[in-house]
Structure 1
Amino acid sequence: MTSTVRKAGLAVLAATLAFAGAVYGVTRPAAADVTAALTGPQLVADMGAGWNLGNTLEASNNGIPSETAWGNPVVTQALIDRVAASGFKTIRIPVSYLGYIGAAPDYTVNTAWLNRIKEVVDYAYSKGLYVLINMHGDGYKTVSGSWLICDASSQTTIQAKYQKVWQQVATKFSAYSEKLIFESMNENFDGQYGNPTQPCYTNINAYNQIFVNTVRQTGGVNTSRWLLVPGWNTNIDYTAGNYGFVIPTDTYRSSTIPAAEQRLMISVHYYDPWDFTGTEDGTITQWGAAATNPAKKSTWGQEDFMDAQLKKMQDTFVVRGYPVFVGEYGSIDKTSYDSANNTYRANYARTLVATAKKYGAATAYWDNGWNGQHGFGLFDRSANTVTQQGIITAIMAGLGTQPSTSPSPSTSPSPSTSPSPSTSPTGGTGACRVTSTVNAWNTGLTNTLTVTNTGTTAINGWTLAFTLATGQTITSGWSAAYAPSSGTVTATNASYNGAIPAAGSVSIGYQATHTGNAAAPTAFKLNGATCS
């Protein structure tokens, strides 16, 4: 069983809940990235830990997309700030179009809906995160108004509609840098679990090819950005095995891309064993070598199986230059049956992320916004707080990175783009290290700064001083307050990230304009102490 059933069932449950949310934050414009594109291995490394904004922009009611239809609040900048502060570098945003697509032959997508998609994308993109958007619920037979059905008889009409929708979406984002990735569809199959059928798989391959051709032909950065395509139901066996998956040709990509390099990624999901990750009962609540009760542990799908499955993706695709993206994984909360369940959920997440990294794949945890029994949630999206720090820590550990200091679950960050600083720094002038990740385009750049406390005592409140290159001016920032906007700048901690434990780190960042010099800043000092 895959996540089609999972999402449908949880959607019904979530629809009974009432949440309230308010939109706030500042959306900043995107610009074309004219810097060299990353290779596959570089891309996977740079994407880091990923997270899904699930059950939101793909939610719908009677065939009409509605981000609150399945019980989640309206997405805010503050939520994305919290996700980024927790260490995630990539956000996947599932999207449905459904009844917001107009009539033939133009199939015009509702303007307000496209603008809302852009607004949510910008919450993450403007922070320097990787962002993935797809076509999600339009291919589920269980969703009212779905139409991207691979075994339907009207394939000519379906394919024309699919082409027009992607043409509009790709055009909307054609100037965004390659930190925006498009995914052709989600878990498309005929609804029958078992070996793929023909010609349904042939039609899935056709959708992928239309997607690649259409996006490339819209021009701009779309001629070179990374594109993500799935096989049958994003299933590893049916994608890597001899069941009919065909990698699209990339005829219309930019001639500036070296011939030996790819710009296509392969999408799969991982929820094995489902009796641990998704079955909503208390029978199987433990996973992995650390399990203490054999009766609560599945008879299959343990570490060796996970390793073998992800190795298939490396052997079939990664070695040929096609990176793999495990766009969904995770396990539901069964602590009501077994108080130790979260330990095994964390073990599962850590092992999946580490194994994927081992075999050249990036990952994104499936978060449906639901906390408590049977939920996948890592965050409370109304309070913008962390609910499963243990799982988040495990994800970062699996990736081999030091997570940013996460905001305390009992407090929420300021809703402004640059959170208000806390009181004056009170301590911590020990050793420090700062790394800078600049992504530049013709007149602008974003820069993510990771500040690490390499001393032996905790830092409680901080200011980071640094010198911008000549001609650079900060226009907006996140996770700190910045002043002045050029020259020697001081970044002061936000209300939720002032504490940096020994060997801990925080990530902050800003967007800036430049007049030709996009160099990283220099002369870092943390609370007056020079950093390496």
Structure 2
Amino acid sequence: MANRPDREESSLTSQKRKIRSVLLAVAVALTASVSGLANQASGETVASLNASQIVADMGAGWNLGNQLEANTNGYPSETAWGQPTVTQALIDRVKAAGFKTIRIPVSYLRNIGPGPNYAINSAWLNRVQQVVDYAYSRGMYVLINMHGDGYKSVTGSWLICDAGDQATIKAKYQKVWQQIAYRFQGYNQHLILESMNEEFDGQYGNPTQPCYSNINAYNQIFVDTVRKTGGNNSSRWLLVAGWNTNIDYTAGNYGFVLPTDRYRSSSIPANERRIMLSVHYYSPWDFAGETSGTITQWGRGATNPSKKSTWGQEDYLDAQLKLMYNKFVTSGYPVVVGEYGSIDKTSFDSSNNRYRADFARAVVSTAKKYGAATVYWDNGHNGQYGFGLFDRRSNAVTQQGIISAIMSGLG
């Protein structure tokens, strides 16, 4: 088909797959001047924020999707899926549009060496740091994760929760996160580390064991490993996820276990947390991600019932985020909707962008109501089935209506 799935498997009760733009490496070494800028920025002091404060301060978020998680034959390459090399100018444009947080999905895959050290390719880690610095040096919040390493459909993947040799997988996971954490230990609280992305067994349906127990174990290894590297990592906000970042499977009784945080800094008040919960939101899937022209409208403003899904409207969105609020936010654990959005179907319905904007505004405003931050999924693709808000070659805004809706959703 013309469009491939946009990240190998999606969360959500729709049990479908998302789309990636039409895909076609440049590893750029960290320059001395940028390194100096990063060191200068990382030395800045920022007051530690509690749960409600950091969610408010993160503001509107945006994903640099289909870049540092892209790969060719298992080797990460930011241009592998048809995007240009990431530039400072692009990140500056994103900030100028009103976004305060950038999530940078990162894959490591075959850039991880053999055991027992599992050394990350230095040029790749340097490039990851350089892209982080594009946003971090501008005072933005930056989220980095381990993105494609847990997808069975990705060449070179290894963080597989139902694979046989879990001892080896867990040792590798620990070593890789240890290296990442040491690299960024001097960065202030504007850097948030995320344990994994949409981790599950690849089969849609209820979570299975021992796969879910292994996901819980990965989260615990992540928290312990990052904390033990010291520096600002001892008090940094850390982001963890349940089964496939699915709200029901995280907030419900399906086996999710919050990691303990016993190695965190003693300077953190006992009644405060430093762990966040990650979920993704693409419901209803037939509007947000299904590659057909059948469902193009959403919400109470829809004018054609035949083009509106029979589920997943405002009431469902409210109930889903209320689940996370009741389970986690009320106990001091912030929630981050690390991905949400809807694809462009204007080729089927010229009014589609209006409903895409309505959807984005509703996700942001409902998340704010329930104490959650939001990060829009942008896969860099504009046009039919694209999630893009910007043209990454010209840095021009392509969907001002959606961006304005996001900002208005914050109130």
Report the TM-score, using the length of structure 2 for normalisation.
0.93
- Distance in structure 2 (CA, Å) of the matches to 1:70 and 1:25: 28
Q: Which residue of 2 aligns with 1:15?
A: 23
> For residues 194-273 of structure 1, what are the structure 2 equivalents within 5 Å?
194-273=205-284
Q: Identify unmatched segments of 5+ residues in structure 2.
A: 12-16
Q: Does 1:158 align with 2:166?
A: no
- 1:24–1:77 CA contact under 8 A, matched in 2: no
- Distance in structure 1 (CA, Å) of the matches to 2:206 and 2:42: 44
- 1:205–1:246 CA contact under 8 A, matched in 2: yes
- Distance in structure 1 (CA, Å) of the matches to 2:6 and 2:119: 32
- 1:90–1:364 CA contact under 8 A, matched in 2: yes
Q: Which residue of 1 aligns with 2:55?
A: 44
- 1:345–1:391 CA contact under 8 A, matched in 2: yes
Report the TM-score, using the length of structure 1 for normalisation.
0.72
Q: Identify unmatched segments of 5+ residues in structure 1.
A: 401-532
Q: Does 1:180 align with 2:191?
A: yes
Code of the aligned partner of 2:165:
S
Deviation by residue 1:311-332 (Cα, 9 ceiling, x = unmatched): 0000000000000000000000
Code of the aligned partner of 1:14:
V
Q: Which residue of 2 aligns with 1:513?
A: none
- Distance in structure 2 (CA, Å) of the matches to 1:144 and 1:284: 33
Deviation at 1:2, TM superposition (A): 10
- Distance in structure 2 (CA, Å) of the matches to 1:362 and 1:6: 20
Q: Which residue of 1 aligns with 2:137?
A: 126
- 1:262–1:322 CA contact under 8 A, matched in 2: yes
- Distance in structure 1 (CA, Å) of the matches to 2:308 and 2:33: 47
- 1:131–1:180 CA contact under 8 A, matched in 2: yes
- 1:24–1:76 CA contact under 8 A, matched in 2: no
Deviation at 1:70, TM superposition (A): 0.6
- 1:57–1:117 CA contact under 8 A, matched in 2: yes
SS of the equivalent of 1:209 reads helix
Q: Which of 280, 305, 315 is the matching residue for 1:304? A: 315
- 1:51–1:92 CA contact under 8 A, matched in 2: yes
Cα 1:32/1:48, change in 2 over 3 Å: same
Q: Does 1:109 align with 2:120?
A: yes
Deviation at 1:14, TM superposition (A): 2.2
- Distance in structure 1 (CA, Å) of the matches to 2:321 and 2:78: 33
Deviation by residue 1:405-443 (Cα, 9 ceiling, x = unmatched): xxxxxxxxxxxxxxxxxxxxxxxxxxxxxxxxxxxxxxx
- 1:310–1:359 CA contact under 8 A, matched in 2: yes
Cα 1:172/1:379, change in 2 over 3 Å: same
- Distance in structure 2 (CA, Å) of the matches to 1:193 and 1:10: 17
Q: Which of 344, 363, 372 is the matching residue for 2:374? A: 363
- 1:60–1:70 CA contact under 8 A, matched in 2: yes
- 1:25–1:78 CA contact under 8 A, matched in 2: no
- Distance in structure 2 (CA, Å) of the matches to 1:374 and 1:122: 30
- 1:59–1:65 CA contact under 8 A, matched in 2: yes
Give the helix-richer structure, 1 or 2: 2
- Distance in structure 2 (CA, Å) of the matches to 1:4 and 1:226: 27
SS of the equivalent of 1:377 reads coil
Cα 1:146/1:273, change in 2 over 3 Å: same
Q: Which residue of 2 aligns with 1:407?
A: none
- Highest CA radius of gyration, 1 or 2? 1
- Distance in structure 2 (CA, Å) of the matches to 1:25 and 1:268: 37
- Distance in structure 2 (CA, Å) of the matches to 1:25 and 1:91: 24
Deviation by residue 1:75-132 (Cα, 9 ceiling, x = unmatched): 0000000000000000000000000000000000000000000000000000000000
Q: Which of 137, 148, 154 is the matching residue for 1:143? A: 154
Q: Which residue of 2 aligns with 1:289?
A: 300
Code of the aligned partner of 2:377:
W
- 1:232–1:238 CA contact under 8 A, matched in 2: yes
SS of the equivalent of 1:362 reads strand
Deviation at 1:4, TM superposition (A): 3.6
Q: Which residue of 2 aligns with 1:393?
A: 404
- Distance in structure 2 (CA, Å) of the matches to 1:80 and 1:397: 21
Deviation by residue 1:260-283 (Cα, 9 ceiling, x = unmatched): 000000000000000000000000
- Distance in structure 2 (CA, Å) of the matches to 1:102 and 1:149: 18
SS of the equivalent of 1:379 reads coil
- Distance in structure 2 (CA, Å) of the matches to 1:82 and 1:197: 43
Q: Does 1:86 align with 2:86?
A: no
- 1:33–1:178 CA contact under 8 A, matched in 2: no
SS of the equivalent of 1:147 reads coil
Code of the aligned partner of 1:346:
A
- Distance in structure 1 (CA, Å) of the matches to 2:10 and 2:201: 16
Give the strand-richer structure, 1 or 2: 1
Deviation at 1:32, TM superposition (A): 3.9
Q: Which residue of 2 aligns with 1:64?
A: 75
- 2:287–2:297 CA contact under 8 A, matched in 1: yes
- Distance in structure 2 (CA, Å) of the matches to 1:293 and 1:266: 36
Deviation at 1:24, TM superposition (A): 11
- 1:25–1:77 CA contact under 8 A, matched in 2: no
SS of the equivalent of 1:153 reads coil
> For residues 496-511 of structure 1, what are the structure 2 equivalents within 5 Å?
none
Cα 1:348/1:214, change in 2 over 3 Å: same
- Distance in structure 2 (CA, Å) of the matches to 1:170 and 1:137: 18
Q: Which of 1 and 2 has higher RCO (CA within 8 Å, sep 6+)?
A: 2
SS of the equivalent of 1:229 reads strand
SS of the equivalent of 2:42 reads coil
- 1:268–1:326 CA contact under 8 A, matched in 2: yes
- Distance in structure 2 (CA, Å) of the matches to 1:176 and 1:297: 45
- 1:32–1:220 CA contact under 8 A, matched in 2: no
Q: Which residue of 2 aligns with 1:479?
A: none
- 2:293–2:348 CA contact under 8 A, matched in 1: yes
